[in-house]
Structure formats: C-alpha cells, structure tokens
Structure 1
Amino acid sequence: MQRRHFLKAGIGLAALGATGFARADAHTTYERFHAALARDPELGVYANLEGNQHGLAVVEGRMPAELQGTFFRNGPGRFELGGERYHHWFDGDGYAQAWRIGAGTVAHQGRFVETRKFLDESAAGQFLYPAFGTNIARKGFRDNDSLNTANTNLLPFNDRLYALWEGGSATEIDPDTLATVGIHTWRDDLAAMPFSAHPKIEPDGTLWNFGALPGGDKVALYRIGVHGDVLQAGVAEIPQLALLHDFAVSARHLIFVVPPYDVSLDADLSLAERHVWAGSTRGARVVVVAKDTLTIRRVYELPPHMVFHFGNAWDDAGGAVTHFDLVLHDGDMLAATSRVMEGEREANRPSAHAATRITLDHATGRVRTTRLLDGAEFPRVMPNVVARRHGRLAVLSSDARNTALALDTVNVVDTDTGRADSWRFGAGWRAEEHVLVPRRGARRETDGWLVGVAQDTTTNTSALTVFDAARVHAGPVALARLPYRTPHCFHGNFLAAQS
C-alpha cells in the first residue's frame, strides 16, 4: 500500500493550515445565518445543537410488529463555537443517533462523537483546526485523524458500530450507549488512511471501501472480511483526481465517477474552496476497477456532472456489461452546500439533479444513460441486492416549489419502467435519507419497509417515518414524533434486532 507515499500524494485536509491562517469571517457567517434564521424557520435544519438528547417518541398510526431493531443515523451537529460558524454544511462535528424500535414503541438517543478534534475544541471554547470548507488553523495537528469529524455515516458491521468520515479512519462507537470508543485501525499499516463514509456490504458480509485524497492521483481500495480482517488492499491511479464521495460495487467491478474539478494549491483556501469547477473544459469520467486485481479495466467519458451518491451496480452478459444507478448534478454542488450556512436559499431546478441509470458496454466502450427521476438525491437499495441486479431504488426528491437542497418527497422507483411510487410531506417538512428494510424471508424488493427521518420546521420537531415499501403513495403506516428537533443527518443504516 505504501501508506506514507499515498498520504503525501494529495493535498488533503492534513495539508491545510500550514500558514497558520485563520478565517476572520467565521463570525460574519454566524451573524448572517442567525439573521436569516429569524426570518425563515426552515433554516432550522442547519442550526447548531448543544448537548446530547434522549426521548420517547409519540407514535401516530401503528408501528409494524415485525419491524424491530435500531435505525442508526449520523450527521453534523455542531456548526458554531465561540461566536463563529462554519462555512460549509459538511464541516460540523459528528452527532450519532439511534432510533430504537421495539414492541410498538420508538426511543431516540443522540450523542456527539467525541473525536480528538471535538474534545480539543470543546476544551478551548473555539474552533482550532481546519475543516473541509472552513480554513481555521489555530493549532498544529499530527495527521488526518486530528481533523476527523466522524460526521457522515453510522455503520453497523462485525457486531460493532462505526462513525465514518472520508478523510481519515473509522471511529468506533458503543452501539448501546453511543459513547465513543476511539479510532479503529483495520491494519497497522493503514493507520490514519482515508476510509470513505460509503462502504458497500455484499450479501455475504464482505465490505468494500475506498479512500481518496483530493489533489493526488491515487485511490486506496479495501476489501474487508466479515470478521473485520483486511482481505485485499491496493491503490488505483486516477489522473486529475478531485472529490470522490461514493462509489458502486457490482459482482466484478468497483465503479467510480470523477467530477471535473481542478484542485488549487492556494493555502489560504479551504479544501472545498480549492475545488474549482472545470466543467466548461472537460467532462466527468467513469472509472471501472476490476475487483480481482484492483486495477483499472476501462475509463468512460460523461458530460460535466457532479456526483455525490450511488444506488447500486450489477453486471450483465457475463461481466461484459455493467449497469449502475446514481444521482447526476449539473454543475458545482459544493458552492450550494456552502452558501446555505449563511442562510442563503436558492431556487430549485429539479432537472439539474436526476437519478440516472448508466449502462457501460466494456467491449465497445459505449455508454447509455436513462433518466429515472428529477430533483433527486440519496438513492438506496435493499441490502440483500447490493452488487446484484436490482429493480427498485429508494430516493428522495423535490420539485420547483422548494428551494435547493430542500427534499420533501419519498419515492421507490421502478428502475425498469421509471415509474415512481411517491408520497410528499406537507409544507415546512424536510426529509432525510430513507432506507429500505426487508421483512424476514422477503422475496421481492418491495417486501419490507421504507424507514427514515423527517424534520417538521413548523413545530421544530423530528419524526421517524415508516412506509410500506410496496405502497409508499398511501403515506406513512407509522410516524413516531419526538418533542424536540434532532440534527439533520446525512446517512445511516438499520440493524434488525436479533431473534
């Protein structure tokens, strides 16, 4: 793996702050956001949180008796400290949540991930270290894990629970108390290596993941067995590498899409600001890596799209064709996810954010794209079809009635026909990612539930939502409302109770 060489290849987060530069306008961002929040309560989903949470939800409807387990969620919870506010939505300190479902009741627990960064800055009463979109640098640091916010996903794996970021290690969390156990190193020579927040777990329990440092031309690749042992580790070289947030896994391939960014070396900018959109001069690239050798099989060209999230991939024709689903954005999305931290809400263009099926013909090099649903984000499939052929895609969406980033509709899309089974929340609601949860012995991809969380900004409360995956249009079969607001999370996973 040549860990030292890999970490030096990219500018990464660990290269920030070398000048000791501190952004003086973090206080201005704070003032602008709070002025906007006073006028617009829907901005509450980006508001700061202080302290941990415990509560029992009031269930409206009837929680399915068969649905028992814990819905783990993770996202940024602390955006402000010492009168300063981060410039980017992705910068906040991780806040782990557990929605525990059993015997018809729902209990909620939320707790900050006590990373090294979180503890140091809490003690100091101010931000000390650079973040993805905010170049604060008041204190020196050792490596990527000194800056690790553990704020993007919460993954149950191998009877453990991990809070994931993407620039550094996984952080182990106690699944019962949500207390922070500490940094997890998969193997000694992989310490502090980037480990993305979007690993894929195949039905046999094998975990695939990657790690990238923007500004370098290398991606670390990992295959981890069901007992947590590293079965494969390697590096793929990808020229002009910028932000890679997610990927897809088929039976034979790992699929990446590299968006067209140039990465500036300006040390006075944050890592997000160093990403300069180059869509006017080049397109995105689909990079297909063979799983058996961890080498690049083929590279395909796409129009200039930004990509955050993938659904799933599967191979056809004996591996000669690969299909995969993802959400393609027209243009730079990093800027939009920054401006909202100052309270700026932009008009929504649903056609610029499309859930899409892409088909790659490895023999001819042809690419075919099919739009599935406009205004989309956060695609998910049933866990038992990962890397296999799938026919249903759960995805959130919104239309022109909303502002950008405001998702309010849940959908299960038939990927063969493009038809969506949909339900829209009322005014003032904001939906988080919803996941598909199969019933025991499920034979169809709609044989189960669609489970998620939504924020009601009119009452400043949050609710767990449960839909019948075969009848989403009928609305929630159960809605478990808390008496308080939880932080707006990015990603999570459902862990069924042991029978």
Structure 2
Amino acid sequence: MTVAPARPYNRSDWASSFVNVDEELTDVALTPVRGVVPAELQGTFYRNGPGRLERDGQRVHHPFDGDGMIAAMRFDNGRVQLTNRFVRTEGWLAEEKADKVLYRGVFGSQKPGGRLANAFDLRLKNIANTNVVRLGDQLLALWEAAEPHALDPQSLETRGLSRLDGVLKKGEAFSAHPRFDPGHNGRPSMVTFGVKTGPRSTIRLMEFATEGPDAGTLLHDRSDSFPGFAFLHDFAITPNWAVFLQNAIAFNPLPFVTGEKGAAQCLQSKPGGKGRFWLIPRDSGEFAGQKPRILEAPEGFVFHHLNAFEDGDHVVVESIVYDDFPSIGPDDDFAEVDFDTVPEGILHRCRLDLSREIVNTERISERTCEFAMVNPERQGLSAQFAWMAVAERETGNDPLQAVQKLDLSSGATHTWSAAPRGFVSEPLMVRRPGAEAEDDGWVLDLVWNGARRASDLVILNARDLSEVAVLELPLAVPHGLHGSWAAEL
C-alpha cells in the first residue's frame, strides 16, 4: 500500500490570510530582515487583489468577490517603500457609506435577506480586483467584466472609470489579463481584448502603444464572432496571432436570476464537450485582415496560459490545464475547501498544426502549478525558462507554497519554498537591465507568512531561485491575483 506524503502546511495558516486589509499606508519604508535589495532594481512592483472580504459581519462567499486593493512597492537604489490603497469604485464608496453589503458578487456572495432579496438584482459590481498595469500616464485597475479604473501611478488615488479616451463604451468588458508585446512588429504594445458572450461570442482585439509620446493610444482594433459561449480570462500572443481557448463551458443564468447562485456558479463543464482554439490574426502581423482560424482543443479547462510561439506552420501554446472547471458551490466555505476534491493545474504544451488542422498535446510538468510566466522579452517567442507558483509536494493538490523555475527543454528545476507556514502568490520575473541571458534578473513574490499573520516581499535570483532579500510588510495582504512591474524610465 502506498502512503501519501504528509501535507506540508497547516490549514489555519493558509486560511488566516482571508482578512480585511485594515489600513492604507503611504511611502512606508521596508527594511530587509534578510539579504540586501539590489540597487539595479529600479521601478515599482504593483499588485492587485481582494482587500475587503467582510463587511458588517458578513463575509464574501468567495475571495474573488472582495473589493480591489492595490499595493505598490517602489524600488529606488536599494530602498523600498510601500503604499497601498483601495480602489474607490462606485460600489466600494456606496458600501463604505452604508457600512453594509449592497451588492451581490459574481462568485456567489449575496446581499443580506436571502434568496428573495437577491432575485432579479442583476447588477454587476465592478470591484477592480484582478490586475493592475501601467499604460501611459495611467495605472489601470482591471476587472474583466467592465471598464478599468484609472489610478495615479504614484499616490494610487482613484481617478475614476476610464474608457481610454473613448475606446470603450459604457460598461464594455476589458480583459484583466493583457499581454505585453516587447516589440515583435516594430514597436512595443499592450495587446488585450474584450468579450461579449451569448449563443455567439464576439472578441474585440485591441493593441495600445506603451512607449513614446503616444503611449496609451489605440493602434489596432478588430472584432470577430465565434459560435458558442465564451468564458475567457486569459489568452496568448505570438507576433502574428492572438490565441484564445474557448473552454467547453455551458452557462445557465436562471439560478443567478432567481437569486440562488452567483453568475460564475452558473458555469458548468459540458459533459463530452470539446473546447476550441480561436486564432485571431493580429493587425500588426503578416496575416492582418485574414479570417480567424479555429481548431479543436483537447479536453480540460484553462484559466491561464504560460506563453505561445510560432514554429513554421505550427503555433505552440503552453497552458495550465485542469481536468474540470474548479468552482465553489453555494453551500461551500472557501476557507474549508478540500484540496483533494479540487482539480489540480498541470502545465501542458499544445502544438497546433495550422496546415493540417490537428493538435498534439503533451504534459511538460507533473507538479501542481499556477501563475506561470516567461521572461517578458520572450513573450510570444520560444522561451527556455518559466517561473511559476507551485505546490510544495511533487504530486498532489495543495495550496501554492513554492516558486519554481522550470527549464522547458530539459525539465530541470530550481525551487524556493515558503513551507511549512508560508504561501506564495503570482511570481513576477523582472529582467536585469541590459541582460543578455534569458534567466538574468530577479523574481519578486508577495508571500503570506502564516507565522506572523502578515505578508513578506521576497526577492529571488531568477537564475537559481536563491534568496536575495526578504522584507516584512507591516500589512496583512490576502491571497491575491495578478500584478505587474513598471520600470523607471
């Protein structure tokens, strides 16, 4: 009989992160408790995630329904300062004033009063909690079902909803997962999308300038419609393609309308359903103006892609694949989730043969993982290395407790672990200025420290994940979502 290895974590340590952020700090100096901050790290590490998880004694049903809170860690000649602010959304301001829950949440959070109080209230509260990116002179807090909120990049004060100088219509969806093209087609750009779902789904693909006097200006814009319901969080880019994976997901809105479930809880995998790869030609690439390509995808559910690249007539897509759509039902407590019953994310590589319209798939890792990225200069190109958050155990599903560097060619790994009492978030690889080697730089991660019930900023050497410095934050930041790095120009 095979005995499963002991779990390397205590549930109470993991769950202790699910608390309200109780203060907003301004330019608080962070001093390393170990190591030295590299002087070459010049810029700001921005991070977004749910910061308010409870109001008037009522906790959100799912952390993804929490109000967005931005943390900015500014690096300047070996010094680091922390500023954090809640995004002053319309919903946050209204609930702050009323001191009670006024809105339902997409992931199942309900207003007080039971089913009758929630039925037929179909308003979506823009909680601005999923990602944060710099575009021109604006810092954008992203939530993919509506417009972004614009913030001041320095003070983090909320400027208000942004329609990007008229690019977006009121309430138009704008992805929380843009991709940054380092300059494959002549100039760097931010590539992003909005999706309008229904029996047919429409993807609006947009590209914005990211450098120069026209930073933030829309460069390219096209819309394409596809058959079927689209549940899309992420996508991948190559120099010529934007690659989407339409998961085999059905949406029955009736329980949402009648107040029984949140909208996301009405999503369900189609038994025996087949996903589709949608490849949209980029208007900055050599196939501009051509029709999209559609290929059948293998079984599984994908939230996040690592990267994509072109290899002759093939497009290669590397993605984190789940056996099924992971969700938390109306009667489940997210802090008590049984990880043994939740599908684990495993890194796969799909090779899309566009000439023969066939797809071949292989697993390229066996370890539970999420939040994977390549060197930003290799976005859309073949990369040798990936950095990702992984479970502490080699096999089995657990919370994410380690950062791993994976050689995508050989399978060799380096790992930094926060176990047994630490839990990692999305690692961010920052390239060393002027670096030539792909793995020359640092990895930044915001780690939940269960021992002191607060967060640590960890700086690692990207080459071998050796620890460079650890800085303790005077702040408890809940497990969060995405972030970005903005270099000082």
With the shorter chain as reference, the TM-score category is 0.7 to 0.9
Alpha-carbon distance change, 155 to 339 in structure 1, aligned in 2, over 3 angstroms: farther
Alpha-carbon distance change, 104 to 275 in structure 1, aligned in 2, over 3 angstroms: same
Alpha-carbon distance change, 485 to 337 in structure 1, aligned in 2, over 3 angstroms: farther
Match of 2:235 in 1: 247
| Partner Cα distance (1:338, 1:160) in 2 | 40
Match of 1:181 in 2: 159
Alpha-carbon distance change, 140 to 305 in structure 1, aligned in 2, over 3 angstroms: closer
Tell me whether 285-294 or 387-396 shows the greater mean CA deviation.
285-294
| Partner Cα distance (2:341, 2:262) in 1 | 27
Match of 2:106 in 1: 132
- Structure 2 stretches of 5 or more lacking a match? 1-9, 112-116
Alpha-carbon distance change, 110 to 480 in structure 1, aligned in 2, over 3 angstroms: same
Amino acid at match of 1:93: D
SS of the aligned residue for 1:364 comes to coil
Tell me whether 117-126 or 46-55 shows the greater mean CA deviation.
46-55
Match of 2:79 in 1: 105
> Does the 8 A contact of 2:85 with 2:157 survive in 1?
yes
Match of 1:210 in 2: 193
Is 2:343 aligned against 1:358?
no
| Partner Cα distance (1:403, 1:336) in 2 | 22
| Partner Cα distance (1:420, 1:90) in 2 | 31
| Partner Cα distance (1:367, 1:149) in 2 | 37
* Greater helix proportion: 1
TM-superposition CA deviations, 1:258-282 (whole Å, max 9, x none): 112110020123211211221x221
Is 2:295 aligned against 1:321?
no
> Does the 8 A contact of 2:368 with 2:395 survive in 1?
no
Q: Once the 2 structures are TM-superposed, how far is the Cα of residue 40 of structure 1 from its aligned partner?
A: 2.0
Match of 2:7 in 1: none
SS of the aligned residue for 1:283 comes to coil
Q: Once the 2 structures are TM-superposed, how far is the Cα of residue 255 of structure 1 from its aligned partner?
A: 0.6
Match of 1:13 in 2: none
| Partner Cα distance (1:437, 1:336) in 2 | 37
> Does the 8 A contact of 1:89 with 1:340 survive in 2?
no
| Partner Cα distance (2:18, 2:250) in 1 | 28
Match of 2:480 among 486, 489, 492: 489
SS of the aligned residue for 1:45 comes to coil
| Partner Cα distance (1:403, 1:107) in 2 | 38
Is 2:311 aligned against 1:311?
no
SS of the aligned residue for 1:190 comes to coil
Tell me whether 396-405 or 189-198 shows the greater mean CA deviation.
396-405
Q: Once the 2 structures are TM-superposed, how far is the Cα of residue 159 of structure 1 from its aligned partner?
A: 3.2
Q: TM-score, normalised by structure 1?
A: 0.85
| Partner Cα distance (2:166, 2:159) in 1 | 18
TM-superposition CA deviations, 1:346-373 (whole Å, max 9, x none): 1348983111222111001121222222
Give the number of equivalent residue pairs: 454
Alpha-carbon distance change, 296 to 121 in structure 1, aligned in 2, over 3 angstroms: farther
Q: TM-score, normalised by structure 2?
A: 0.86
Tell me whether 151-160 or 415-424 shows the greater mean CA deviation.
415-424
Q: Once the 2 structures are TM-superposed, how far is the Cα of residue 231 of structure 1 from its aligned partner?
A: 2.4
Please show how residues 35-434 of structure 1 align to structure 2 within 5 Å. 40-54=12-26, 55-59=28-32, 60-134=34-108, 136=110, 147-188=125-166, 190-191=168-169, 192-203=171-182, 204-215=187-198, 217-226=201-210, 227-266=215-254, 267-268=257-258, 269-278=261-270, 280-292=271-283, 293=288, 296-317=291-312, 320-335=313-328, 339-341=332-334, 343-348=335-340, 352-373=344-365, 374-400=367-393, 404=397, 406-434=399-427
Q: Once the 2 structures are TM-superposed, how far is the Cα of residue 399 of structure 1 from its aligned partner?
A: 4.5
TM-superposition CA deviations, 1:462-497 (whole Å, max 9, x none): 11111111111xx31111112332232211111122
RMSD: 2.7
TM-superposition CA deviations, 1:182-209 (whole Å, max 9, x none): 1111243622210011111111321111
Alpha-carbon distance change, 197 to 337 in structure 1, aligned in 2, over 3 angstroms: farther
Amino acid at match of 1:224: F
- Structure 1 stretches of 5 or more lacking a match? 1-37
